[in-house]
Structure 1
Amino acid sequence: MALVSPTRTTDTTAQEPLLNHALTTSPDPIKASPENPAEPEVTGELIITLSPKFGPVDVERFKVHVPAGAMASELATNLSAANARISLGGWATRLNDSDEFEFIPTATYETINPGTGITIQISQLPISRKVGTAPITVTERSREGGKGTFHNRATTFNIGKFPADFYMRDFNADPLVINNGGEVTLTWERSTNATYELLYGDTSLNVTNETTRKITNVKSDTTFYLRGTTSSDPNNPATRTLSAQVTVLQPDIEVRNLTVHGTTQLIGDTQTNNLRISAGHTLTADGPTVTNGTFTANGPIDTNETLTAHGLILAKASLAASSDFVVEASGKAVFKGSVGLFNTYAVEKLTVPIGGGSWRSPSHWPDGMALVHNLTDSQLVANVSTGADSYTMYLQSGEKTTFPLARHHTLSLRGQGGIGGDCQVFMIPLGDSEG
C-alpha cells in the first residue's frame, strides 16, 4: 500500500520551480477539530521538503501560505500560535499580513547545491472545525545558480481535513505478481462516513459498501487506486487516495511508437493496420500470415507457410513463396519486381500488362527453353490450374506456347527494354479481367 501525495499544481503564471517540492502532514490525515466550539481545537503540522532538481539554485526566500479562518477551505482557525522553522542555519522566519510564513536568509540569497535537502516545519496549527480541503501554497523566489534574475515559482498542495472518526488504511493486493490474464484480490479497511471508489485503467467502481473486490483477467501491470471522499460542504470535499501495484508476467503492452534496433519475435497471432517493410529489408514468416487490408513491402517477402490476402498485396521488390500462395476472389496481388513461386499455388490466371518494350522469360525455364516476345499494347497471359502439369503462355491475339510445369520450378517474369525491368504482375482468379 502507498499513500498518493496530496494533489499538487504549479501556478501557470509563475516560472517552473527549480526545487522539488513535497508535503506531508502530522497526523496523516489531518483531522478537523470538533464542530462543538466548546471543545478545544486539535492541532496539526505541515512538513515540507525541498531539494534542487538539477544544478545549484540561488534562493532569496521561501513563502508558505496557510489559509486561516472557519471555512472548509481554510486549514487553521488562526496562525498566531503556530511554530514555523527551517532546517537551513542563519535564516529568519516571520508571519506576514497575508497569512504567509516567510523564510529569509541572512545574506541577499543562499545557494542550494545538488544533494542538499531542506525541511520546513509549521507545527501547532489549530485546525478549523469544518471538513474540507485547504490549498497550501509554497513559493520559492529563485534562479539557476548565478544566472539571470529571480522569479516567484509557486506550487500548491490540496490538504484534506477529515472527520475525527474517518479512517482508510491497509489497501493491499494479493498476489502481487500474477500470470497474464490472472486475477487479484484487493482488500482494505475503512470507516463508514465516506464514499469509496476503486479506480484502475479506464475503470471506476463504487465500493462504498465493500472492503474487498476480486479483479479478473488482468493482462498488464496495473496500479489500483482506492479513493475515499467525505465532506460537510459538497463543493469542497476532503479526498484521500491509496494505491496498490500488481505486476503481470509476460504482460500485454500498448504503446504509441516503438523502435526496435534488434530482433523482434512475434509468437502467436499478430494484427496490424499498416505494415511496411523498407527497401533492403526482409519480412520472414515461419507460420501462416493473414492480411485483411493492404500489405505493402519495399523489400523481399519470404514466407515458409501459407500467405493469405483478403485485400491488395503490393510488393515493390521480389516475393518468394515456398508454400501455397493464395489470392481470393475479392483480392489481387500486384508486383513491381520478380515473382518466384517454388511450390503449388492457387492462382488460376497470371496477367502481365506490357505497355511497351520487349519482354522475355528468363533462360531457366524447364528443359532450358527460352521464349522471347516483342509486345507493344497487348497482354502476356499465363494459365495455370492447381496441380496442372503444364504451363501455357499466350497473347490475347490467340498465339500461345505450352511448357511442362515442374513442381519446384521458378517462374520469374522481368521487363526488358523501355520499362527498364519494372514490370507489374496481376494475379487474379479465373474469370476476372485486368485492363
Structure 2
Amino acid sequence: MGTRILSASSLLSFDVEPDPDPLTVSTAAQPVIGRLDITVGVGASGPVFCRKVTVRIRIGAGDSALTENRGQLTSGVIGATGWTARSGYADGDWQVFEFATDRPVNVTGRAVTLVISQIEVNKATGNADLKIIEESSPTNGSFTEKTTDDVVAKFPAEFFFRNFRPTSVMVGNSEPAELKWDGSAGAEYTMFWGRNRSEVVSGVREWETPEGLTEPTGFMLQAKVTVSGVTLTHTLTTVVMVERPDLEIGNLSVLGQVGLLKSRMLLPGELEAGINVIAPTDGILSVHFPESNPATVKVYTQAMYGLRMFSSGGPHIFPVNKGSQLSVQVVAGNPLNVIVKWFGFGTSSLSDSVADS
C-alpha cells in the first residue's frame, strides 16, 4: 500500500504509491519498469494554496538511488486541470520534475496526482531517496518552499506480497475471522488488529483470529525483509464487518432514529451502467473479484482515495465520508465477475442521493 507523508514544515500531504506495489529490483534477465503516483492533498493545518510541486529522484546504481536510466523517465498529471508537468532535467545525481499550476490552487482535499513513469528500477535493494518540494502559502501570498523527504523501498527480485483478504467480509457476532494472503518465503510477517493486538504469522498464509469478533475490525499485515542490514517493510490492510455488533457506550443521547449498519450489494446492471451518488452516511465500500474471470472496476471516492482501477484480488476497501461523492462502474469485462458491497453506518440507502454528473 502507498504511504502518506508530511514533514514538520509542510502544509500539504503526499500519498506516494509505487506501481507495481511493492517495487522489486531489476535483474539482468528481467528489468522492472515502474511508476510513482504522488497524490497531493491537504495537510494537518487545513486548506492551503499551492502553485508548484517539485519531485527529485536520486539517480544511480546504489541502494539509495532508484534508477540508473534517467533518460527514459516521463512525467504527467491526472485527476485535475490547471496543472502542467514540465520536462525533467538533471541536477547532479538527481532528476528533477516540476509540476506547476496555471494559478495558485486552493487545496481543500485531494487535489491532483503527479505521475513519474518509465522508471527502470536499478539492481540494488534498499530505500531510494525521494524529495518533494512544495511552494505553498496558507493565505495565497508569500509562497515559500517546504521540503518533505521520503524513501521508496526496492525489495529483492524474488519478493512478493499480495492478495490479503478475509474469507468473508462479514461474520456473525462472536465468530472468528479467517484471513489469507500470498507472500514469498524469507520475510517476517506480523498481523496487527483490534486494540493493539499483534501476532507473528510468518509460518502460515492462512490465519484465524484467536477470538471471535464483536465489532467491525481492521487488520494490517506487515512484511519485513532485511538485506545487508537495511530493513524494508510493506503493509497491506483489510477490514471485517460484524453482523449486529456489540455497542460500547459511555454517555449516549438519542433523538430520533438510529441505524448502526446497513449493507447492500450493488447489482450487475448498476455496475454496468455505473452509479454516481453522494454518500448519505459514513460507510465502507468493498470491491472483490472472487474468480479469475476478467473485469475492471473504476472507483472514485472524493477527498479520500481519488480515482482507482482494479481488475483482480480484494477485497479492496474504501472508507467513505458522509456527503462525499462516490462513483463505481465496471468499465471492462462482465459485471457478474465482481462483488461490490456497501456497508453504510446509518439508515439511508446508497441510492438516496444522486450526485451531479
With the length of structure 1 as denominator, give the TM-score of the two structures.
0.50
2:214 pairs with 1:219: yes
1:11 aligns with 2:7: yes
The structure with higher relative contact order (CA 8 Å, sep 6+) is: 2
Contact 1:15–1:151 (8 Å) recurs in 2: no
Q: Which runs of structure 2 are paired with 1:35-434 in the superposition (5 Å)?
A: 41-51=31-41, 57-59=49-51, 61-86=52-77, 88=82, 92-97=86-91, 99-103=94-98, 105=100, 110-111=104-105, 117-144=111-138, 146=140, 148-200=141-193, 201-215=195-209, 216-234=211-229, 236-252=230-246, 258-262=250-254
- Counterpart contact for 2:83–2:99, Cα < 8 Å: no
**8 A contact 1:135–1:159 mirrored in 2:** yes
Amino acid at match of 1:69: G
Q: Which amino acid aligns with 1:49?
A: T
Q: CA deviation at 1:150?
A: 1.0
User: How far did residue 211 of structure 1 move?
Assistant: 1.0
Q: Distance in 2 between matches of 1:209 and 1:27?
A: 25
In the TM superposition, residue 145 of structure 1 has moved relative to its aligned partner by 5.7
Whole-angstrom distance in 2 between the partners of 1:49 and 1:33: 26
Give the structure 2 partner of residue 273 of structure 1: none
d(CA) in 1 for partners of 2:84, 2:156: 39
User: How many residues of Structure 1 are paired with residues of Structure 2 in the alignment?
Assistant: 247
Alpha-carbon distance in 1 for matches of 2:90, 2:22: 27
Structure 1 residues 106 and 96: CA distance shift in structure 2, 3 A: farther
The alpha-carbon distance between structure 1 residues 178 and 65, as it changes in their structure 2 partners (threshold 3 A), is: same
Q: What amino acid is aligned across from residue 9 of structure 1 in structure 2?
A: I
Could you tell me how far apart the structure 1 residues matched to 2:254 and 2:116 are? 54
**Counterpart amino acid of residue 84 in structure 1:** S
Q: Alpha carbons of 1:219 and 1:91: their partners in 2 closer, same or farther (altered >3 Å)?
A: closer
Secondary structure of the residue aligned to 1:130 is: coil
Larger radius of gyration: 1
RMSD: 3.1
After superposition, the Cα gap between the structure-2 partners of 1:209 and 1:82, relative to the gap in structure 1 and judged at 3 Å, is same
TM-score, normalising length: structure 2: 0.59
Q: Is the 8 A contact 1:198 1:226 kept in 2?
A: yes
Letter in 2 for 1:172: R
State the distance in 2 between where 1:117 and 1:15 align: 15
> Structure 2: any 5+ residue segments left out of the alignment?
256-357
Looking at secondary structure, tell me which structure has more strand per residue.
2
Contact in 2 for aligned 1:73/1:133 (Cα 8 Å): yes
Instruction: Tell me the SS of whatever aligns to 2:212.
Output: strand
Partner of 2:262: none
Counterpart-to-counterpart distance in 1, 2:182 and 2:153: 19
